[in-house]
Amino acid sequence: MSTSSLEEIRRAKLVAIIRSHSLEGLENTVRSLYKGGIRAIEITMNTPGALSGIERLKENFPELLIGAGTVLDSETARLAIMSGAGFLLTPTLKKETIEISNRYHVPIIPGVMTPTEVLTAYEYGAKMVKIFPIRQLGHKYLTDLKGPLPFVETMAVGGISLENAGLYLKSGASALGIGSALVDEKLVQQGDFTEIERRAASFVEIVSQQ
């Protein structure tokens, strides 16, 4: 599972980050993202009913890669894995969380910022790292990282938009994690799933041009 999930993320290059207040809104959002071409979804663990949401989405959207985000510790990681999460994302670096994920052969993409954290995460067993929040660093930071650390794959998260997505990919990001620029909670509350689908298609179009 680990290799195939990472391969799917590399191929898709886009991971939609979803925080929803209801399972109904979650399902409608995922359906719109799928119609727009998104194939990898991250459900944050601070979403109410996140674990049951992951189980339900895997059942209703078997063709999608469903993962868990905002995983803060090894206990949460194990619960997410038991619920069927195909990958895990964390906002911070914690050795125990990486170890539990590797034990179950589920890829984990830990949140890091500095070169030291990037290398440490790699040495702990992470195959890809999440540079977060990338908005504070800019796309050229990825190019700089690739100098001394060309063997570590990166996912850029935090502030990715339609205007800068291409720049991050050209600068070396293997994938992008996209939150509010793709899934705005206001759109979900308003039931404007057509706009979410349109945004998804726009991001997919940008990736196809890289």
Choosing from 8, 13, 94, 130, the catalytic residue is 130
Q: Map residue 130 onto helix, strand or coil.
A: strand
- One of 8, 42, 153, 197 is an active-site residue; which one? 42
Report how far residue 107's alpha carbon sits from residue 148's, in angstroms, rounded to the nearest whole number.
Answer: 24
- Rounded Cα distance, 38 and 30, in Å: 9
Residue 125: what residue type? G
DSSP assigned state of 9: H
Q: For this structure, is 186 an active site residue?
A: no
Separation between Cα atoms, residue 4 and residue 186, nearest integer Å: 34
The amino acid at residue 129 is V
170 part of the active site:
no
Catalytic site residues? 42, 130
